[in-house]
Amino acid sequence: MVRSNRHKYVWHSRGECELFDLASDPAENVNRFKESSYHQAARHLHAELGKWLKATGDPWRESLPAEPPSIGSGTQGAGVST
């Protein structure tokens, strides 16, 4: 999980992703990952997550794909963050 001032991005090792717009949805009820207007934010935060995993030597860094998996096939609703 990684966040900016406006967005929270959650990558699940099973390949699912969530993206929440904290400005319009502070309770994180609506997953915006499937919405094309949020793809740039998802890509940016995915890259930031990769940098953090690498910098900290996290073992999950080897499992993180180079790009967000299947942009456009996320799940709706809040989920469990990893």
Question: What value, to the nearest 5°, has the Cα angle with vertex 36 and ends 77 and 50?
Answer: 75
Enter the pTM of the model.
Answer: 0.80
Range of the domain at 10: 2-62
Q: What CATH number did the domain enclosing 35 receive?
A: 3.30.1120.10
Element (H, E) at 21: strand 17-21
Domain count, the chain: 1
Are 33 and 18 contacting, i.e. CB atoms less than 8 angstroms apart? yes
Convert the pLDDT of each residue in 24-77 to its tens digit.
999 999 999 999 999 999 999 999 999 999 999 999 898 898 888 777 444 443
Residue at 82 is within a domain: no
